Amino acid sequence: MATTFQTPGVYVKEISLLPPSVAEVETAIPIFIGYTKTGPVHTPRRISSMLEYQTTFGTANSDRSLKFALQNGVANLVHDIKSQSKFIMYYAMQLYFANGGGPCYIVSTGIIPEDENAPSVAEKTTPPEAYDAALDEAIRTEEPTIVVFPDAPFVIPDNYYALMSKAIDKCANSGDRFLIIDVINSDDPKRDVVADFRDRVPTSENAKYAAAYYPYLNTAIPYEIDEEQLMISILDQNEPEEVSTPAIKVEEVEAAKGKKEDSTKSVPAKGLIKKFSEIANGIQNQIRQKITASDGVLLSPCAAVAGVYAKVDRTRGVWKSPANVSLNYVQSTMVSITDEQQSSLNIDVNAGKSINAIRSFVGQGTKIWGARTLAGNDNEWRYINVRRFFNMVEESVKKSTTSAVFEPNDVNTWTRVRAMIENYLLLKWKDGALAGAKPDDAYYVRVGLGQTMTPTDVLEGRMNIEIGLAAVRPAEFIILNFSHKLQTG
């Protein structure tokens, strides 16, 4: 606005010469979708710690996979992994924070039923529909950049890959999300889980917005145990001490629900089931020790991977591939993968659906040993860090250039916008995110009449900006060439 001077004197005007700056968006804010113990359903909530999760969404059902049999005064532990709760969101969040996870979002698909074998009366939709609705809410939430389904492989194994296909397309449509997929494991040795994954996840040009990981993890996270619900099988008559409460026959457990038993009835000790509170204190302590030393929860890898994404982004940058990183709270992998087996996982010559292996190495722990997207044969979008780096730059520049909307479409605006983007990319080059000996080798920004626009574009109000980036790529294969050198001199 022009200023009209009417009174003689000295006037001061501040002239802005510096361009606006690009405000960088967050890169590793996962949104976890799954069933919770309590909390709001289909309403995204932001949390920053495990304590916040417990306060809002509770814990997990008491585990029933750890069973004890008392014989000759010794409590023997039997771990029936098939009886493990399929609602493992609480455990997955522990794994996420243990591996470097930070702020994240939770979208509850529903409340965990007390009796997991019976449908919850509170649920008005089927699990697949509940996950679809939660996914829509997750995509509508502004801040998250990573989508994770920790318990879906356990809750809806038959519909899981169909859900992942929808999620891939929604992440691609949003343009700023990346999906972490689990390859469903199987107890059947005859079942080829890798082939099953590649057959059931359709080939799509949107595959660059997702990455798959295999296998499941044997964690060190202890099960939630309610001692009041813990039942002990008595296999002989040599119980260390008497108890005041009469025991119940195994075959009478179900019958007791329907009729009242005579408390004075004498029953033999062998083949009984007793409550934890009914056995001797010494046996109780023995059981507690064995629970502490027992194997932890079996989990899919997505939560640990999301934690590694967050840690690597925070310590190194989104341009560093989230691989060759040891996992915390992980004892071993469900399946041991060899170099030969990984060769077919890493490179899929037919459809390019690369699967990132998680492997245990002697003296090094369990590591993520792959860094490819599902578009493993795509030279442009083969690597996770390249895709996620472009996501960050695209979203950051998009939000920052909104200040130029409705500004005059002339050389002054073009120069200001180009300078803003170039300054941002110069900082990324100095940080090591872009490859090149000098800035001109690492990136370019073009805007202007005769470069990216025609007179028709100007008349129709379009400002075309062209940005080129030389993103760094990981050294996936390191080849050492050795040869004999003949003696000289």
For 488, other C-beta atoms within 10 Å of its C-beta total: 4
Residue 116 pLDDT greater than 80, yes or no: no
- What's the confidence (pLDDT) of residue 290? 77
Cis peptide preceding 150, ω within 30 of 0: no
Residue 256 has pLDDT above 60, yes or no: no
312: helix, strand or coil: helix
Which residues share a beta bridge with 367?
326, 359
Q: What are the angstrom distances between the C-alpha of 450 and each of 282, 354, 456, 463, 464?
A: 87, 42, 11, 12, 11
Q: What is the pLDDT of residues 168-224, one digit of tens each?
A: 999 999 999 999 999 999 877 778 999 999 999 988 899 999 999 999 999 999 888
Whether the CB-CB separation of 462 and 455 falls below 8 Å is answered with: no
Residue by residue, DSSP assigns 89-111 as HHHHHHHHHHTT--SEEEEEEEE
Percent of the chain residues topping a pLDDT of 70: 90
pLDDT at residue 95, rounded to an integer = 97
End-to-end CA distance of the chain: 83
Write down the residue that tokens 């119940």 correspond to. 248
3-class DSSP assignment, residue 219: strand
The pLDDT of residue 322? 96
pLDDT at 77: 78
Instruction: Identify which of 44, 41, 43 has the alpha carbon closest to the alpha carbon of residue 29.
Output: 44
What is the rounded distance in angstroms from the CA atom of residue 392 to the CA atom of residue 348? Answer: 28
Predicted pLDDT of residue 268 = 36
Q: How does residue 267 score in pLDDT terms, banded at 50, 70 and 90? A: very low
Q: How is the chain split into domains, by residue range?
A: 30-221+297-385, 227-293, 405-489
pLDDT digits (tens, 9 = 90+) for 297-347: 999 999 999 999 999 999 999 999 999 999 999 999 999 999 999 999 999
Token code pair at residue 192:
């080829």
Other C-beta atoms closer than 10 Å to the C-beta of 474 total 18
Angle, CA 340 vertex, CA 339 and CA 342 arms, to 5°:
65
Q: How far apart are CA 27 and CA 178, in angstroms?
A: 10
For the segment 139-164, the average pLDDT, to the nearest whole number, is: 95
- Residue identified by tokens 């932890």 is 296
Is residue 83's pLDDT more than 90? no
Pairing of strands 365-369, 355-361: antiparallel
Torsion of CA 339, 343, 344, 347, to 10 degrees: 150
For range 289-304, the mean pLDDT: 87
pLDDT one-digit tens code per residue, 426-440: 999 999 999 999 999
Q: What local confidence, expressed as pLDDT, does residue 275 receive?
A: 75
The strand pairing partners of 232, in sequence order, are 68, 274
Confidence label for 485 from pLDDT (cuts 50, 70 and 90): confident
Q: Examine the pLDDT at 259 and tell me if it is beyond 60.
A: no
Interval 22-27 mean pLDDT:
90
Q: pTM of the entire structure?
A: 0.86
Question: For residue 96, which of 4, 36, 30, 45 has the smallest C-alpha distance?
Answer: 30
- CATH-assigned architecture of domain 30-221+297-385: 3-Layer(aba) Sandwich (3.40)
SS3 at position 56: helix
Average pLDDT, the chain: 87
Confidence category of residue 252, pLDDT binned at 50, 70, 90: very low
- Using an 8 Å Cβ cutoff, are 88 and 150 in contact? yes
Greater confidence (378 vs 189) lies with 378
